[in-house]
Amino acid sequence: MLILALDASTPVTTVAVARMEDREVLAEISVSSGGPSGGASEALLPAVHAALGFAGEELSSVGRVLCGVGPGTFTGIRIAAATARALAFGTGAALAKNPTLDALAAPALSCRADVLAVIDARRGQVFARRFSADGSTTGISCMAPEGLSTEGNPLVVGDGAVRYRGALEGLGPIPPDGSPLHRVSAVGHVISADLSPVGADDLVPIYVREPDAEVRRDLNPWGRS
């Protein structure tokens, strides 16, 4: 049986195929469009089929569809969740979910026990989660990068760390901008996820704050531009 992991919470749409029994990754495809949702509506399904093709596997062999549920770009999260539900329904595979910040931190945790994962939330804010050396994990926060504080010296990773390097470099070391540790990967989901099955109704996006569309509606209740 296979794990099909997918995430579109950031401008990188990413898909991986792995074996369920040992989580060995057979293939990964990542596509960046530079757009706010990573072009997920056009990129996600082709990436799924490409990853399966590179792995030499068929969709019928998938036993678990693992979806990154954010936080991140609202459109991308919704597209990933809808795609995961459709794939699970079509194949009979079970669904599983994993926070995107956990996937971001997973590769960094393989080389350092203390990690601060930071995703650019736009509007001058970041989504952040701390993974400490004692095994504890904080909740997910959304705030201005200047508001983040931490004891110790965590490795700070993510596109939020790249964008707000000046505000965050006092918290701990930040890898160079081009480091793969700054990229959310489907492999990170394979490494870090609890694969316990969840129902389709439980595949709920982690938004942390109101979607941009809701904010615009509150500011402009009559729908006028």
> What DSSP element (H or E) covers 103?
helix 100-109
Over pLDDT 90: what percentage of the chain?
84
| Averaged pLDDT for residues 162-167 | 98
Mean pLDDT value of segment 135-146: 95
Q: Is the pLDDT of residue 57 over 60?
A: yes
User: Per-residue confidence at 216, pLDDT binned at 50, 70, 90?
Assistant: very low
**165-170 long-range contacts, Cβ below 8 Å, gap at least 24?**
168/118
Rounded mean pLDDT, 88-105: 97
pLDDT value at 20 more than 90: yes
pLDDT at position 33, please?
A: 67
Answer yes or no: is pLDDT of 212 > 90: no
What phi and psi, each to the nearest 5 degrees, are found at residue 203?
-85, 75
Residue 7 pairs with which residues in a beta bridge?
A: 14
List own/partner pairs for 128-135 with CB under 8 A and 24 or more apart: 128/101, 128/160, 129/99, 129/101, 129/102, 129/105, 130/154, 131/105
- Domain-by-domain residue ranges, the chain? 2-100+183-219, 101-182
Q: Which CATH class is domain 2-100+183-219?
A: alpha beta
186, pLDDT greater than 60: yes
| pLDDT score for 150 | 87
Average pLDDT, the chain: 91
| CATH code for the part of the protein at 101-182 | 3.30.420.40
- Angle, helices 74-91 vs 40-55, to 10°: value is 40
Q: What integer is the mean pLDDT of 10-38?
A: 88
Confidence of residue 40 (pLDDT cuts 50, 70, 90): confident
User: 10 Å Cβ neighbour count for 192?
Assistant: 18
Q: What is the rounded average pLDDT of the residues 18-44? A: 85
35-73 burial code (b ≥16 CB/10 A, e <16): ebbbbbbebbbebbebbbeebebebebbbbbbbbbbbbb
DSSP annotation of 67 reads E
Instruction: Compute φ and ψ for 113, nearest 5 degrees.
Output: -80, -10
**pLDDT band for position 34 (50/70/90)?**
low
Q: In percent, how much of the chain has pLDDT > 70?
A: 91
How close are the terminal C-alpha atoms of the chain, in Å?
51
Query: Cβ(216)–Cβ(42) under 8 Å?
Result: no
